[in-house]
């Protein structure tokens, strides 16, 4: 980890600021006490430790706005199945998961994200204390939502809403962990659970994160049960409101798009997971943004994606929207990078200190190696395009969170990779042993 008592001066970097003007230039960046204090073409070093950054682009850390990081040992466990079949396998396995399994999986997923330039992630799971411990151990920024659902559907011990309340209380003052409440979805949450989750979020001052309209079956089943589509029903029961982030949002009508936009909801667009699970539709993210929603990108879990790379997510999200609309201008490279950085910060209510390289903001960023083949030709005119469309994860050379060096030249400064790998392997052996027989 870097020494907070020292200042650092990155000299002659290609700086991808992601500021309001989206400036990209050759210049210098200074960090003091975990924040950027200077971003510009010149300024005196004043005794700061100099780092020659000529070979690098400095890029804001990516913000993954939806995932289940502890599921990383389940990568590949339910491939080539639709969501219903996928969940059937996952539910059978989850019943046997221990808190040790959760922490081991979270550590593996966190390192995968850090190695591909993600410095903040929004999670939805149970046993989030185990995820929080992994966050604190490896130095990423975690926005951790405790999964809330009706008691008759849960494998949690105790009442999920009470568990979420206690989790929020335990971690509310942690510098890297931001706890929140996360109702699972309309298929396991009734009106009382939804309104209880909203009340808890308001009482504790947290975000509220949930799945919404991911599949046509989810929408049709809920409509058959209640007479209303999920988004419309949530509005009618008085749930929709500020500081909420909905994952997926694929199967929406024009009225629902207007509704979510009016409430300024955050939308976590998970293009890769939706494609792999054959959700069948394409999230109307362009219309959602025009209606007023804030749209970011999420990877979903390693079991359904199967990657946690935001570089990959940008690339696929852009291609899908262009192709589906017969319009190559949709979701251009700059917009994709916005979704992966500053829009993610805005969804989380952290636009004041995350999402861009600007004085006063937290120093969450990556050094991208400009001599890597996937970002050639390297220069101010091309770097945004390369990040959105071509950069490999291996081009991410080093990563800083809160000014601390967490990945150094693609290595862990504190070591520990063998420990993480072996723990995750043991978790996988345990969990896969409970996998039901796949369909013939």
| Confidence class for position 5, pLDDT limits 50, 70, 90 | low
Asked if residue 293 is part of any domain, the answer here is yes
Range of the domain at 326: 62-347
- pLDDT at 440 (0 to 100): 62
Are both 43 and 150 inside the same structural domain? no
Asked if residue 424 is part of any domain, the answer here is no
CB 245 within 8 A of CB 347: yes
Structure tokens at 325: 């609309």
Count of C-beta atoms within a 10 Å radius of residue 157: 9
Asked if residue 295 is part of any domain, the answer here is yes
Collect all residues with Cβ–Cβ distance below 8 Å to 26 and sequence separation of at least 6.
Answer: 12, 13, 14, 15, 41, 380
Asked if residue 152 is part of any domain, the answer here is yes
Asked if residue 428 is part of any domain, the answer here is no
313-347 as b/e: b if 16+ CB within 10 A: bbbbbbebbeeeeeeeebbebebbbbbbbbbbbbb
Are both 332 and 221 inside the same structural domain? yes
Are both 134 and 52 inside the same structural domain? no
Are both 339 and 367 inside the same structural domain? no
User: Measured between alpha carbons, how far is 96 from 403 in angstroms, rounded to an integer?
Assistant: 38
- CATH number of the domain within which 374 lies: 2.30.40.10
- pLDDT at 1 (0 to 100): 42
Residues 280-298 pLDDT 10s:
889 999 999 999 999 999 9
Are both 137 and 197 inside the same structural domain? yes
Collect all residues with Cβ–Cβ distance below 8 Å to 407 and sequence separation of at least 6.
Answer: 114, 115, 396, 398, 399, 413
Are both 182 and 273 inside the same structural domain? yes
Residue 396 has pLDDT above 60, yes or no: yes
Are both 14 and 128 inside the same structural domain? no
Asked if residue 343 is part of any domain, the answer here is yes
Are both 96 and 195 inside the same structural domain? yes
User: Measured between alpha carbons, how far is 348 from 342 in angstroms, rounded to an integer?
Assistant: 10
Residues 7-45 pLDDT 10s:
999 999 999 999 999 999 999 999 999 999 999 988 767
Domain boundary among 323, 347, 371: 347
User: Measured between alpha carbons, how far is 43 from 10 in angstroms, rounded to an integer?
Assistant: 11
Residues 63-88 pLDDT 10s:
999 999 999 999 999 999 888 888 88
């Amino acid at each position: 980890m870097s020494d907070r008592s020292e200042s650092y001066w990155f000299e002659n970097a290609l700086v991808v600021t992601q500021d309001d003007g989206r400036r990209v230039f050759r210049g210098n960046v200074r960090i003091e006490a975990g924040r950027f204090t200077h971003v510009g073409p010149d300024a005196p070093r004043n005794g700061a430790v100099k780092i020659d950054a000529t070979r690098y682009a400095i890029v804001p850390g990516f913000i993954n706005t939806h995932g289940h990081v502890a599921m990383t040992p389940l990568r590949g466990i339910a491939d080539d199945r639709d969501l219903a079949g996928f969940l059937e396998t996952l539910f059978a396995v989850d019943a046997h998961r221990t808190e040790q399994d959760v922490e081991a999986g979270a550590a593996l997923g966190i390192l995968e994200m850090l190695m591909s330039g993600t410095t903040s992630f929004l999670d939805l799971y149970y046993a989030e204390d185990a995820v929080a411990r992994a966050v604190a151990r490896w130095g990423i920024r975690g926005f951790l939502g405790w999964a809330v659902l009706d008691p008759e559907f849960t494998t949690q011990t105790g009442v999920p809403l009470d568990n979420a309340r206690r989790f929020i209380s335990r971690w509310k003052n942690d510098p890297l962990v931001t706890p929140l409440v996360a109702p699972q979805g309309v298929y396991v949450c009734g009106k009382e659970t939804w309104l209880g989750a909203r009340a808890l979020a308001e009482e504790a001052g947290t975000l509220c994160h949930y799945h919404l309209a991911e599949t046509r079956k989810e929408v049709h089943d809920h409509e058959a049960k209640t007479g209303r589509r999920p988004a419309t029903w949530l509005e009618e029961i008085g749930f929709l409101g500020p500081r909420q982030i909905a994952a997926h949002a694929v199967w929406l009508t024009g009225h629902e798009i207007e509704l979510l936009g009016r409430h300024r909801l955050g939308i976590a667009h998970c293009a890769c997971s939706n494609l792999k699970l054959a959700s069948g539709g394409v999230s109307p993210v362009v219309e959602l943004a025009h209606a007023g929603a804030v749209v970011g990108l999420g990877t979903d879990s390693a079991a359904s994606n199967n990657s946690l790379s935001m570089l990959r997510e940008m690339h696929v999200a852009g291609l899908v929207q262009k192709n589906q609309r017969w319009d190559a201008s949709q979701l251009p490279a700059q917009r994709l990078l916005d979704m992966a950085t500053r829009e993610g910060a805005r969804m989380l209510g952290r636009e004041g200190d995350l999402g861009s390289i600007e004085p006063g903001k937290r120093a969450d960023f990556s050094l991208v190696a400009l001599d890597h083949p996937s970002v050639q030709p390297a220069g101010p005119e091309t770097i945004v395009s390369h990040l959105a469309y071509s950069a490999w994860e291996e081009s991410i050379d080093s990563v800083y969170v809160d000014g601390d060096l967490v990945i150094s030249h693609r290595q862990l400064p504190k070591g520990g990779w063998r420990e993480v790998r072996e723990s995750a392997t043991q978790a996988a052996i345990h969990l896969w042993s409970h996998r039901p027989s796949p369909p013939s």
